[in-house]
Amino acid sequence: MTAMATLPATAVVFLALCIDIVHATSNATTAAPTRPPWPKPNCGNPALTNGLRNLFLDTHNRFRGNVARGQTEVSAGWGIAPPATIMYRMKYDCNAESYAHQHAGSCNRNRLPPSAMPGYKENIHVLNTVQTTPAGAIQNALATWWSELARFGMRSNMMFYPSEANRGARSVMNWSKVTE
């Protein structure tokens, strides 16, 4: 039996990530381009371990990679979502984590106004159970957010219509060139 971490009756999980452009380097030989080592998250807040931060980051980048390569699930009857032209890997942002932690601590289920978190967007996921671990809550939130592509779809011509404006968190998760 594994030990369960105690979570509040309503656990609110926030994704605290930001994007950084990865520059590939090349040399004059025929060797393949290499990337510099990707920074691992290491924030001072003990509320999340670095392992949980890596779980957020690695899972999110895996889902984004699937979108970038056109390897996503069927898109609500519109076929496979088209591959991305530009989709950057994300790196962890400790400042975003701080904003997310403050909001989660308030147990407010509503999105904050942009002025409350200048330069950041947020996704909110409410998990109405305490029968999970922190890692399980993170995986549940990410899977729920990313499942919106299959539920709501994305047109293969990438046309966006006003009727699609309130689809939920996934529109934030999928932005290819988000800067924060």
Residue 165: name the closest of 176, 179, 156, 152 by CA.
Answer: 152
- Number of structural domains (the chain) is 1
Residue 172: name the closest of 125, 124, 139, 123 by CA.
Answer: 123
- The pLDDT tens digits of the residues spanning 85-142 come to 888 888 899 988 888 888 888 888 888 888 888 888 888 888 888 888 989 999 998 8
Question: Which residues are CB-contacts of 22 (< 8 A; sequence separation ≥ 6)?
Answer: 35, 38, 88, 89
Rounded to whole angstroms, the Cα distance separating 101 from 117 reads 12
Give domain status of residue 29, yes or no: no
Give domain status of residue 3, yes or no: no
CATH for 56 = 3.40.33.10
Give domain status of residue 178, yes or no: no
Give domain status of residue 110, yes or no: yes
Give domain status of residue 131, yes or no: yes
Rounded to whole angstroms, the Cα distance separating 100 from 17 reads 10
Residue 55: name the closest of 126, 141, 120, 159 by CA.
Answer: 141
The pTM of the full predicted model, rounded to 2 decimals, is 0.65
Q: How many CB atoms lie within 10 A of CB 61?
A: 18
Burial of 92 (0-12, 13-18, 19+ CB in 10 A): buried
Domain span including residue 86:
11-18+46-154+167-172
Share of the chain above pLDDT 90, in %: 9
Query: Residue 165: its pLDDT value, please?
Result: 59
Give domain status of residue 98, yes or no: yes
- For all residues of the chain together, what is the average pLDDT? 71
- The pLDDT tens digits of the residues spanning 154-173 come to 666 666 666 665 555 444 44
Give domain status of residue 79, yes or no: yes
Query: Residue 135: its pLDDT value, please?
Result: 93
Give domain status of residue 93, yes or no: yes
- The pLDDT tens digits of the residues spanning 33-80 come to 676 767 778 888 888 899 999 999 999 889 888 888 888 766 666 667
Rounded to whole angstroms, the Cα distance separating 149 from 63 reads 11
Rounded to whole angstroms, the Cα distance separating 86 from 66 reads 13
Q: What is the DSSP letter of 122?
A: -
